[in-house]
A and B are shown apart, each in its own frame.
Chain A
């Protein structure tokens, strides 16, 4: 199969599910004829029309609430929230409504909806358009949070998300939209998935997703030149959390480096370290390292944003220190 971009993979997954299931529909701001601000839904309005692809007002609560009501009736809405930062303006619908409807009703209803959104830093979008909002949502049972890093995962995980009976929040890293790769062949849509080994290794385990995963892979290539063998893991699904794959890897390498864009407090990386430390014997021989974004809002100026974010060099340096 020829290579496609991460953006094209997402578009193809939406196309495939729209074609496969008449209960699937899209709604969001400027996703119709406009194709979305990141052009992810380009061409879908032309193909499926106003009966399946709905432009909405700039009303995130109305978008998510409408998706929820439709899902309660068995439809499979795919809502787009333009930037993940905007989950803050519909936080009630996400935290109190979609996440809890199934539980509060003792499973009288299912909530088979998907919310797609662009997240992540690195492009100078500054403090209100660059955050990793998945971190805010970790403490909400009932949600599924997925962070695909490659075109193949972007494709298959979105198809799985749309078919999933639970609400899935699907985070698209805006810096990966142009990244190319092949879409793996599968006879049937795989389940959402769990931790994947992005690069096998023996000396240190590096866990990172999305843009940070690609930096970690670059760092691993640099480290290989110094005879350090880094195993790079891609979590793919942040919630429900499954640390068994990470524990297995760290039990072998005895060293753990967690990398993420977001600040550390209350984050996924911090939680994973806590879960590994608290349940069973410590898998590491030296304390794990958390390499994270600064404890600040994301700044605008290129120099400041670069100082905020982990990068390839910092990942490689942290790994070298761990194995020293």
Chain B
């Protein structure tokens, strides 16, 4: 069967929907949501090892930002990276295959949940070390500059990463060299279990951009169209040689930090208030207000479930990696 992706043109299932329509973005968001729900099930069944860092609630950030990219651009992200990787158009079955540790997984079963990579699509690595990929994102941007292409480098990270040294070194170098990189800080209000105010002496993380000579923009990260709009402006700046931008996308993970986290540190009512602002619900409401029929919205949700279910089933049918794979790929 053909590989299915989260960002496959919605047109195949819905002839009226064009790429870039909010309905197409909604399908991507729903597919990411369903992917994460399926990952939870597979984890509960003992089929996914170690831990998972899920993305439910933040889908509009990756979906909106990646919608502003084009072929040849690159993306790096964190270990909460399933959403961003899927938004780059990665095969759903090969992503499941990687989480399941199968030889046909994206990384041959060598990376698991935290390191999903699909280099041909520009998904250049999910990183399990907080902040480590910001310097690497600079290098990807540097390569575009060096080769005089107009490619840009998009780099997702969390609020917690803004307190690690690599963030500051990378922001400074990007600023002084005016690299075509877009730093997207997904501020979900918690660095692991700790609220931002307990770890960071400022409330507006976008303000950190000023220290590095680049614009800092805050955006409603649960509004997929708003994210795409600020990202498009940042991408345009980067392609035009004007330099980097820091985007702070305000969002919320409606699940715990990782599998071991029930989220008991959240104040009463906080989770409920963010579920009210759920990015999928927001897009559905807006589309409904514009006259999209409820049946269509329901069909989009069902299509996401269909894609995810088919991909998961396919991946589960694949064998584990061959034993010889252990030793391959350390050196060229």
Closest chain-B Cβ to A103's Cβ sits at a distance in Å of 5
With A and B bound together, what is the CA distance between A96 and B119 in angstroms? Answer: 18
Contact call A104/B115, Cβ cutoff below 8 A: yes
CB contacts (< 8 Å) of A165 on chain B: these are: 332
Contact call B173/A69, Cβ cutoff below 8 A: no
Contact call B329/A97, Cβ cutoff below 8 A: no
B139-147, B199-207, B252-260: which one contacts chain A? B139-147
CB contacts (< 8 Å) of A93 on chain B: these are: 132, 135
Task: List which B171-185 residues lie within 8 A (CB) of chain A.
Answer: 172-173, 176
Q: Is B86 an interface residue (CB 8 A)?
A: no
Give the contact-size bracket for chain B: 35 or more
Contact call B110/A104, Cβ cutoff below 8 A: yes
Contact call A96/B135, Cβ cutoff below 8 A: no
With A and B bound together, what is the CA distance between A212 and B300 in angstroms? Answer: 70
Closest chain-B Cβ to A90's Cβ sits at a distance in Å of 9
CB within 8 Å for A106 and B110 given contacts A61-B165, A165-B332: yes
Closest chain-B Cβ to A165's Cβ sits at a distance in Å of 4
Contact call A75/B146, Cβ cutoff below 8 A: yes
Q: Is A53 an interface residue (CB 8 A)?
A: no
Contact call A68/B332, Cβ cutoff below 8 A: no
With A and B bound together, what is the CA distance between A317 and B210 in angstroms? Answer: 63
Contact of B132 among A59, A96, A166 (CB under 8 A): A96
Contact of B170 among A65, A102, A142, A164 (CB under 8 A): A65
Q: Is A12 an interface residue (CB 8 A)?
A: no
Contact of B138 among A69, A96, A105, A110 (CB under 8 A): A69
With A and B bound together, what is the CA distance between A107 and B136 in angstroms? Answer: 17
| Chain A residues in the interface with B (C-beta under 8 A) | 25, 56-57, 59-62, 64-75, 77, 92-93, 96-97, 101-110, 141-142, 144, 164-166, 240
With A and B bound together, what is the CA distance between A141 and B331 in angstroms? Answer: 9
CB contacts (< 8 Å) of B132 on chain A: these are: 65, 92-93, 96-97
Contact call A108/B119, Cβ cutoff below 8 A: yes
Task: List which B112-148 residues lie within 8 A (CB) of chain A.
Answer: 115, 117-120, 124-125, 127, 129, 132-144, 146-147
Looking across the interface, which residue of chain B has its beta carbon closest to that of A164?
Answer: B332
CB within 8 Å for A69 and B329 given contacts A59-B169, A62-B170: no
CB within 8 Å for A25 and B146 given contacts A96-B129, A105-B111, A107-B328: yes
Looking across the interface, which residue of chain B has its beta carbon closest to that of A109?
Answer: B119
CB contacts (< 8 Å) of A142 on chain B: these are: 330-331
Task: List which B82-124 residues lie within 8 A (CB) of chain A.
Answer: 106-111, 115, 117-120, 124
A-B contact count (CB 8 A): 138
Closest chain-B Cβ to A152's Cβ sits at a distance in Å of 25
Contact of A57 among B111, B125, B165, B176 (CB under 8 A): B176
Contact call B119/A106, Cβ cutoff below 8 A: no
Contact of A59 among B125, B136, B173 (CB under 8 A): B173
Contact call A106/B107, Cβ cutoff below 8 A: yes
Contact of A62 among B138, B140, B143 (CB under 8 A): B138
Contact of A69 among B107, B111, B118, B136 (CB under 8 A): B136
Looking across the interface, which residue of chain B has its beta carbon closest to that of A167?
Answer: B331
With A and B bound together, what is the CA distance between A144 and B109 in angstroms? Answer: 24
CB within 8 Å for A108 and B135 given contacts A166-B331, A166-B332: no
Closest chain-A Cβ to B320's Cβ sits at a distance in Å of 14
Contact call B166/A65, Cβ cutoff below 8 A: yes
Contact of A104 among B111, B134, B166, B170 (CB under 8 A): B111
Closest chain-B Cβ to A69's Cβ sits at a distance in Å of 2
Query: Can you show 26 pairs from A to B with CB atoms below 8 A apart?
Result: A25-B146, A57-B176, A62-B135, A64-B135, A65-B135, A65-B166, A68-B139, A69-B140, A72-B119, A72-B136, A72-B143, A73-B147, A74-B143, A75-B146, A77-B139, A92-B132, A96-B132, A97-B132, A102-B329, A102-B332, A103-B330, A104-B111, A107-B329, A110-B332, A142-B330, A166-B331
Task: List which B301-332 residues lie within 8 A (CB) of chain A.
Answer: 325, 328-332
Contact call B165/A71, Cβ cutoff below 8 A: no
With A and B bound together, what is the CA distance between A104 and B176 in angstroms? Answer: 31
